[in-house]
Amino acid sequence: MEDQTLTGVLRRAADDFPNRRAIFVPGKVDIPHSRLQELIDSAAQRLVAAGVRPGDVVALTFPNTVEFVIMFLAVIRSRATAVPMNSAYTKEEFEFYLSDSESKMLLMSKQGNAAAESAATKLGILRATTVLTDPSSEIQIDGLTAIGSTANEPSDVALFLHTSGTTSRPKGVPLSQQNLAASIRNIRTVYHLKETDSTVIVLPLFHVHGLLAGLLSPLSAGSSVALPASGRFSASTFWSDMRSACATWFTAVPTIHQILLDRHSSSPEPEYPRLRFIRSCSASLAPSVLTRLEAAFGAPVLEAYAMTEASHQMATNPLPEDGRRIPGSVGRPVGQEMAVLDENGAIQPPGAPGEVCIRGPNVTQGYKNNSEANKAAFLFGWFHTGDVGYLDDDGYLHLVGRIKELINRGGEKISPIEVDAVLLSHPAVAQAVSFGVPDEKYGEEINCAVIPREGEAIDVVEMERYCKRNLAAFKVPKRIFVAESLPRTATGKIQRRMVAESFLTAAKTTKAAA
């Protein structure tokens, strides 16, 4: 039973490595695993005493702080469901997410959050603020009083997240204690995480990537996690934090990897820490960027594949001692079954594209209150990811793109990921994203937006020639936008729909003004 719950896995790690560092904020906080569990248990008792019952939903909105880690795990420990939320949401967004998740309580940092408080007040939701003044004392929860106890079950819904999705309305994803325990076991095992490892959090903990891969997986191994003192990623302090934490690895989205590369080009560190590996996930990593990362930081870069509905990781490239890293591939399945299916549910042979489908103990049982989405997602005994890809002869997965993002130009299907990779291989390009736009003749045409590297200028005509040399004629972008920035989600991900809307709107406005 213990290995089937997130709570049990973390408690076992604390029993095995009680005195090893768990949570570290350089120059401020240093908490060992045994003390972290004591703080979690104490806070959980306060929540239970305040009336939190099994199955209740508790929302949290914090920066990446020690208080968040403790309260998030305390909510789960009390058999309630934790809903971490982005502190930057508007009042209207908080209203939607608090209402859709059916939250009964909102936990915040001592600084509070005006938009969240206003939304909670409107919805009649209990609010409480928390602060940890000293790791040797108990965490203070304003307005709540003590004592209570409860035991976790594998079926308890521990985490509720919304998809970052490509649709207009996010879908609610409940994840059980068993889902989370299976996922962190998969991540811990494939990367050989041990108590001697350490990492620095660079991603927001309201997102499944930072939460599962960055925080919970290393804690489950008895290793340590460092939180930046500012509560958020900063390229200027990242490497000093890594050195302070004696970090051996980190995980990030391609955008952050690109930011670190840009800083390396303009202001390199005198020496970089020796890392076992660098992980990249949540968006495709162009092979040219992977090569630059390995050259700059002297560590193998492991691209992985994940989604919220799978409690994060589904596949990854292996460590060097376990197999080949294949640039452009997201690696081999880890901890669950994976198949590529055609429209009729038949498993495709190696090399043949289809929809990537999975099943296993880490996969959600279904979206909340969304029978239509569940009917479409769970077919033929598999969960359907919505991604198109193929498995090669060695079982490595190669993604082509999202089903809804593939560009159909006069019947020719174009993978935007392939076009991105070519654009990013150009020496003057730092970031690139391609997308489909409506076209009277072909139905859809391909456009792209590119950001130049620092100190470089992009000649659009020369870029068009470069694309024609490296892409089939029908895949060459009809229009290339040169920009200083690209619209991103709160977690740093680039959604093609957002980019397309942004640049097409700007183009129409410019045309109208002319």
Q: What is the pLDDT of residues 16-64, one digit of tens each?
A: 999 999 999 998 999 999 999 999 999 999 999 889 999 999 999 999 9
- Assigned token pair, 35: 């003390």
* 159: nearest Cα among 311, 51, 40, 370: 311
Distance between CA atoms of residues 332 and 58, nearest Å: 35
Report the distance separating Cα 13 and Cα 18, nearest Å.
Answer: 8
Tokens 């790791």 belong to residue: 135
Domains defined along the chain, listed by start = 2-389 (3.40.50.12780), 406-513 (3.30.300.30)
Q: Point out which residues pair with 312 in neighbouring strands.
A: 307
Residue 144: its pLDDT value, please? 56
Q: How far apart are CA 418 and CA 399, in angstroms?
A: 9
Q: Report the pLDDT value the prediction gives residue 326, as an integer from 0 to 100.
A: 96
What pLDDT is stored for residue 439 in this prediction?
A: 82
Question: Which helix (DSSP H) or strand (DSSP E) does residue 355 occupy?
Answer: strand 354-359
Cβ neighbour number for residue 128 with a 10 Å cutoff = 17
Q: State both tokens at 286.
A: 């162009």
Q: Which of 18, 73, 66 is nearest to 44 (CA)?
A: 73
CA 95 to chain centre: 23
pLDDT for 213: 98
Tokens (6 digits) for 153: 């079950």
Q: Which residues of the chain have pLDDT under 70?
A: 1-2, 143-150, 164-168, 490-492, 506-514
Confidence (pLDDT) at 24: 96
> Measured in whole angstroms, how far is the alpha carbon of residue 2 from the centre of its chain?
26
| pTM score of the predicted model | 0.85
- Per-residue confidence (pLDDT) for residue 56, from 0 to 100: 97
Give the count of alpha carbons within 13 A of 234, CB side only.
11
State the Cα–Cα distance between residues 162 and 105, nearest whole angstrom: 18
